[in-house]
Structures are given as structure tokens and as C-alpha cells.
Amino acid sequence: MNFKMKAIASLSALSLVAAAWADEGEMAPKAEVFGPVAIATADFSVTSSVDESVLFELDASASKNAVSFSWKVAEGKGVFWLQEKPGGGWKTEVNQAKAKALVPARHTGVAVYEVSVTDKDGNIDTKRVTMTATSPWYSSVTENPAKPTEFPDWGEENTYMAGDKVTFAGIKYIATKWTQSIPANGAGWKFADPEQLREWNKSMSYSSKDKVTWQGKAWKAAYWTQGNTPGEHSVWLEL
């Protein structure tokens, strides 16, 4: 009995010493791991519009330990886009916590948007959001097809004459001559609306007053140009 009592007393003493060390901060603290955690909008579905773009908000502002954000189109680039705000330029990357997923008129398919969040030490975490765009051509109520518009979708098997009108990746074009080329590549096409902002493309030709966005700024062409980078050539005037 005496031996057991001594053992218990010794254990009690050790516990008291350990508690005292803990109170004085002499015991090693538990390691804590800090880093960015990307938290974003859940996967979603939208119905594209017959005659205008559809926007859906992407939000990563609830992410943890993040000091900077970057959204990009990871899959579906060139068909689906991003905007910093309604009415802004069409982009493939937006550097802010909230962005607008942009579905051009009458476009369907799947897009994957990826957000990267960075903490103060440069650590990065990412999260992907999948968007599914469905067709507007048939109403779930009336089951009647929507009427075609003045600017039908461009078809790779079609030939076009001067004056023909098409829509490609949500942008409206008018043919300037006989052509089978992709509108975004420029040859034989001009923009139907010079005032519409779109991201600059080095393969596209631009006429006087055409407007583009490039590296976060808006530009207007002073005269015809192709391959000249905005900000590096005098043909582009900053707006």
C-alpha cells in the first residue's frame, strides 16, 4: 500500500509540474497550419438566351486567408467568357474575388471556371466551378422553337458572301467579301457593332473606331490594323 501511495503521489507531482510549465508557456505549442483555402460558387446550370448574353456571378470572397484572387476560363475558352462587371469587356481571366460568368446568346455546352486564391506568403489554393449551358430554342412550357435572329451562328461548312451576317462566340460579324474563314481570325469579316468591347486578338483585323480590351484597359483603333498590340502601337488610342 505504501508503494502504491508513493507512486500515485509521484504521478500527481509530475502532473502539477507539467501544468506549471504549460501555464508559463514553457511547453512547446501545437503547430498550427495557415494557408489559403479557396471557397467558391457551387456548380450550376443556366439556359442561354436567344438574343443576348446571360451573366451568372462567380464568388470566391468567402475564401480563407486570401489576399488576392484570380478567376479564369479553364475549359470552354473562346466560347464562354468572364466579365469584371456587367457591360465590361469579355475576358478569359479576371483578377478579383467576384466575376461574371458570361454565356453568349444561343451558346450551349460546359465551361469550367477556376479560381486561384493566394495568401500573404504566396501560397496558392484553387477551386473549379462547372457551368452547364442549355439551349433556349425550345420552351419548357410551349415547346415551340424560338424565332431565328438576324445574325445566325457561323457554320464552318458554309461559305459567305459580302454582307452576310453571323454570330461567333457571342459577337456579331458582317462578311466583307467571299469567305469561309473563322470570324475571330479576321480575314473577310468586320464587327457589326464597333462599340462592343471585346478582348484584343492578334489574328483579328480591326477597322477605325473598333474597340477592344487589353491588359485591363480599353482601346479604340484609329485606323485599320492587324497584329499591332494595344499600348505598343500608336494605332490604338486608350479610352
pTM of the model: 0.49
Relative to beta strand 211-214, strand 236-238 is: unpaired
Each residue of 112-147: pLDDT tens digit? Answer: 999 999 999 999 999 999 999 887 765 444 444 445
Each residue of 153-171: pLDDT tens digit? Answer: 877 777 788 888 888 777 7
Cα–Cα distance for residue pair 201/11, rounded to 1 Å: 76
Residues 127 and 171 in one domain: no
Each residue of 9-36: pLDDT tens digit? Answer: 444 544 544 444 445 444 444 445 579 9
Residues 125 and 51 in one domain: yes
Residue where a domain terminates, one of 118, 134, 150: 134
- HSE-up of 58 (CA within 13 Å, CB side)? 35
Q: How many domains does the chain have?
A: 2
Q: What is the CATH number of the domain that holds 184?
A: 2.10.10.20
Is residue 48 in some structural domain?
yes
Full residue range of the structural domain in which residue 90 is found: 44-134
pLDDT of residue 144: 47
C-alpha cell at 194: 464597333
Residues 50 and 128 in one domain: yes
Q: Does the pLDDT of residue 106 top 70, yes or no? A: yes
C-alpha cell at 151: 445574325
- Using an 8 Å Cβ cutoff, are 115 and 129 in contact? yes
Residues 170 and 234 in one domain: yes
pLDDT of residue 148: 55
Residue where a domain terminates, one of 134, 157, 182: 134
Is residue 27 in some structural domain?
no
